Amino acid sequence: MRRHGPFHPRVHWAAPPSLSFGLHRLLLLRGTRIPLLHHLSLDGGMVNPPGVSESIGREAFGPPPASSDWLPARWRNGRSGWPRARLCPGWTAAEEGRSSTLGGLLGRQRWLLRMGAGWLGAPMERHGRASATSVSSGGEQAAGGPEGRRQEPLRRRASSASVPAVGASAEGARRDRLGSYSGPTSVSRQRVESLRKKRPLFPWFGLDIGGTLVKLVYFEPKDITAEEEEEEVESLKSIRKYLTSNVAYGSTGIRDVHLELKDLTLCGRKGNLHFIRFPTHDMPAFIQMGRDKNFSSLHTVFCATGGGAYKFEQDFLTIGDLQLCKLDELDCLIKGILYIDSVGFNGRSQCYYFENPADSEKCQKLPFDLKNPYPLLLVNIGSGVSILAVYSKDNYKRVTGTSLGGGTFFGLCCLLTGCTTFEEALEMASRGDSTKVDKLVRDIYGGDYERFGLPGWAVASSFGNMMSKEKREAVSKEDLARATLITITNNIGSIARMCALNENINQVVFVGNFLRINTIAMRLLAYALDYWSKGQLKALFSEHEGYFGAVGALLELLKIP
Amino acid sequence: TYGSTGIRDVHLELKDLTLFGQRGNLHFISFPTQDLSTFIQMGRDKNFSTLQTVLCATGGGAYKSEKDFRTIGNLHSDELDCLTKRLLCIESVSFNGQRPQKMPSNLDDPYPLLVVNIGSGVSILAVHSKDNYKRVTGTSLGEGTFLGLCSLLYGCESFEEALEMASKDDNTQADKLSHDIYGGDHERFGLPGWTVTSSFRNMFYKEKRESVSKEDLARATLVTITNSFGSVARMCAVNEETNRVVFVGNVLHVNTLSMKLLAYALGFWSKGQLKALFLEREGYFGAVSALLGLTNFS
């Protein structure tokens, strides 16, 4: 019985436990400290005091004996009674931790150089913290052992960006003590190589589970050597082939081929970035597929953002035997946007705007160079709308939002016109005339409302004409669809304008899948913003609209600052 | 009642008023704009023009129907001027969110004030003094939208009917709440689980469409519209640095649901900084001021 609402607010949660209650207790008994974070290793065993570390350069000399390698520990399947842990990207520093401090630092430097400012243009700091800090902490704190592990407050569900190498290092040390494993005993050279270069294992995914659509970005490596290919695990190969040779998956999954980013270098590997989406409704099917294809055996990290990452976390675990690394959606959004903008779109500009938006014939889509991005107003139009003011790479805030977003457009359209897909709704809207449905200023005033500068064609009351029976009978489904689109778009534009005014920002970027193939809305936003602000505000759009969250999640996986 | 649609709000009658040196009662009557032509016809039939009276009119319709009114004689006053000139706060009312009760509140020192006029559409005015005000912004999602959508969604015939249905049920069937997307609160940005993240979003799913009732839809519509202009009002209040927001308009006429929602939402999202105020004679201020404008012509 859900009588929620402003008068019966639900009990607010504390952070959802990422471990089961039983596990908490068990770990308590074992005397380990319990940061309730996703990087926690649940392999049990006492925390290793510093000093017990593997010899330096283990990785450099080929596959180490299984018994003391942490890899098999990760491969242990959880059915032995211990739920398997998924380290978040913090594990890369585990290698550091196990080696002596010096070796660790050298390794870190190598990694840094690779990740450094060179190929990314302006170096991007990790959100909220300078990379340098965690680097050094990774090196030093290895000696500090578990005491160095930072405790995050219970309530934070935020990204593990801040998860220090520290914790991971301690765990890495701990793992070495584990005894028998049920996992494979030989380690492929590819994996070792990956580890040596501090890369997460393939496949590399970024997932954004929104209210309506799931966005998936997949990095397809193109520089696979023959040797690597030979050693590649079968399921990994089949995933790669499945994703790259199809453009449609099942009946609802789609790969946006035109958005593919070619020849990208990520984490030292060259490859293509693919953009895939499917309805959140089909999430259970996706998880089921993951189970059938034995995703869990790949021991890859699934970095996911969006509300669904929290909502489906349990399902992923129980059905797919996969643990999600949950990240905050707005953090990922910002990260994703800044990254994609910096790498460009296969040589073209990512960002664009409309010239002459109101004129169908003269309207042109022109590239926009976002070289001075800050401050920026980011309007993310998904199922709902969030508006963020971005002042710098690490400094942004959520200004406000509105519940009348893409979901409203879609839901109302479904109710009013019986359409079943977003494309259908848009198609109907393109053929309709909203002025039959809406009450305009001239319908009330007989002309302009000059005193306050309201032109006669401005909408005074959305759906205002629908109170009258004759008018209701005279409108078509297309008119209704159009009116819904106009209403939602105008509302968003108006709120965006007010926020821009409040925050003193004159660049407004609209992203989100509501704008996908939705030229009507984009042009309307461009026009409205320009008109009502008397040319002060500029509406900008982006080619990869809805995928930034997923890209941000992928970047988090690769720990790219 | 007058004809089939005109209504005199007897409970709002102001007795023993002194106006222009005369004592009397002030009556408040409303009828749908659609019937304006009938009204004008009646004026013609009853030979209004022979009375040589001045008819002060305001509102958009004053401009639109000007030609028709000429037969009876009229004068314009600007709609928003009228509204702000005389905010006769006979009794202003505020709701205290959690335990909604009417509390009389004083508008002794009214300025600065944010006035949200909810008609077919919504205009938001920042009032700094009796003569100094500006129209800050507006939104097209107002009472007209609520009624229009209700009529479309399930063919309701009147405002009262729509409100009655809305008061019955649960909007969470039609809307997608934060809870539905996050499985709980989105703490990072302080969004509790019962926040609506996407109005009507659930209507995409066929099963939900079939299981939702008219009452749910009515409620969802009302909540959506109310939240929308409530949110805009809040942003304006922050921008204009006022902490009192007066909502006027007929949609609030007998609409305690909207009033409670506005009072609660404004208080919640502003962390108690903003106060939502309502007035007893919500929709009549324009008319009252037009009447008072008569002084200029006597």
Q: What are phi and psi of A103, to 5 degrees?
A: -60, -40
Confidence of residue B293 (pLDDT cuts 50, 70, 90): low
Q: Is the ipTM of this complex over 0.90?
A: no
Q: Of the candidates A521, A520, A522, A511, which has an alpha carbon nearest to the alpha carbon of residue A546?
A: A511
Select, from the ranges A99-103, B68-72, B74-78, the one with the highest average predicted confidence (pLDDT).
B68-72
Name the residue facing A4 among B148, B177, B235 (closest C-beta).
B177
Q: Are residues A376 and A253 in the same domain?
A: no
Q: Is A417 contained in some domain?
A: yes
Q: Are residues A497 and A521 in the same domain?
A: yes
> Min CA distance, A190 vs chain B (Å)?
37
Q: Is A458 contained in some domain?
A: yes
Mean of pLDDT values over A409-421: 89
Confidence of residue A312 (pLDDT cuts 50, 70, 90): confident
Name the residue facing B209 among A405, A414, A469 (closest C-beta).
A414
Q: At what angle are helices A422-431 and A519-532 packed, to 10 degrees? A: 60
pLDDT, one tens digit per residue, over A87-141 is 333 333 333 334 344 444 444 444 444 444 333 333 333 333 333 333 333 333 3
Residue matched to tokens 């970095």: A303
Measured distance CA(A338)–CA(A120) in Å, rounded: 10
Q: Are residues A370 and A505 in the same domain?
A: yes
Q: Is the pTM of this model over 0.80?
A: no
Taking contacts as CB-CB distances below 8 angstroms, the residues of chain A near B97 are 6
Task: Compute and round to an integer the Cα radius of gyration of chain A.
Answer: 26
A24 vs A479, higher pLDDT: A479
Residue in chain B lying closest to A415 (CA): B203
The predicted pLDDT at position A389 comes to 94
Helices (H), A123-164: 131-144
Q: Show the domain range for A417.
A: 351-432+476-542
> How many CA atoms lie less than 13 Å away from A360 in the CB half-sphere?
2
Confidence of residue B200 (pLDDT cuts 50, 70, 90): low
Select, from the ranges A65-69, B128-132, B188-192, B228-232, the one with the highest average predicted confidence (pLDDT).
B228-232
pLDDT, one tens digit per residue, over A183-200 is 344 445 555 655 556 677
Cross-chain residue pair B144–A461, CB shorter than 8 Å:
yes
Tokens linked to A117: 């400012």
Domain count, chain A: 3
Confidence of residue A547 (pLDDT cuts 50, 70, 90): very high
N-to-C CA span, chain B: 30
Measured distance CA(A170)–CA(A141) in Å, rounded: 9
Q: Which of B13, B66, B79, B282 is catalytic?
A: B79
Mean of pLDDT values over B7-30: 78
**Domain boundaries in chain B?**
139-174+212-279
Select, from the ranges A213-222, B147-156, B237-246, the one with the highest average predicted confidence (pLDDT).
A213-222
Please answer whether residues A426 and A514 qualify as being in contact, where contact means their C-beta atoms are separated by less than 8 angstroms.
no
Interface test with A, best of B64, B80, B181 (most A CBs within 10 A): B181
Name the percent of chain B lying above pLDDT 90. 0
CA dihedral angle for residue B191, residue B195, residue B200, residue B201, rounded to 10 degrees: 40
Q: Are residues A207 and A302 in the same domain?
A: yes
Q: Is A38 contained in some domain?
A: no
Q: Is A266 contained in some domain?
A: yes
Q: Is A240 contained in some domain?
A: yes
Cross-chain residue pair A406–B186, CB shorter than 8 Å:
no
Q: Are residues A265 and A248 in the same domain?
A: yes
Cross-chain residue pair A4–B193, CB shorter than 8 Å:
yes
pLDDT, one tens digit per residue, over A36-49 is 333 333 333 333 33
Tokens linked to A301: 């990290």
B251 vs B100, higher pLDDT: B251
The answer, yes or no, to whether residue A3 has pLDDT greater than 60, is no
Name the residue facing B145 among A407, A411, A464 (closest C-beta).
A464
Measured distance CA(B14)–CA(B27) in Å, rounded: 7
Q: What are phi and psi of A524, to 5 degrees?
A: -65, -45
Q: Are residues A299 and A272 in the same domain?
A: yes
> Min CA distance, B22 vs chain A (Å)?
33
Q: Are residues A376 and A428 in the same domain?
A: yes
Q: Is A257 contained in some domain?
A: yes
Q: Are residues A224 and A294 in the same domain?
A: yes
Name the residue facing A460 among B120, B182, B193 (closest C-beta).
B120
Q: Is A163 contained in some domain?
A: no
Q: Are residues A355 and A271 in the same domain?
A: no
CATH number at B139-174+212-279? 3.30.420.40
Q: Are residues A520 and A428 in the same domain?
A: yes
Q: Is A19 contained in some domain?
A: no
pLDDT, one tens digit per residue, over B159-175 is 777 777 777 655 555 55
Mean of pLDDT values over A74-81: 40
CB pairs under 8 A between A and B: 248
Cross-chain residue pair A400–B198, CB shorter than 8 Å:
no
Measured distance CA(A218)–CA(A240) in Å, rounded: 9
A344 vs A283, higher pLDDT: A283
Q: Of the candidates A340, A333, A337, which has an alpha carbon nearest to the alpha carbon of residue A120?
A: A340
Q: Are residues A366 and A223 in the same domain?
A: no
Q: Are residues A341 and A386 in the same domain?
A: no
Q: What are phi and psi of A91, to 5 degrees?
A: -65, -25
B138 vs A482, higher pLDDT: A482
Mean of pLDDT over chain B: 70
Residue matched to tokens 């509204």: B83
Count of C-beta atoms within a 10 Å radius of residue B51: 12
Measured distance CA(A294)–CA(A73) in Å, rounded: 18
> How many CA atoms lie less than 13 Å away from A39 in the CB half-sphere?
28
Contacts of B206 (CB under 8 A, 6+ apart): none
The predicted pLDDT at position A276 comes to 93
Mean of pLDDT over chain A: 70
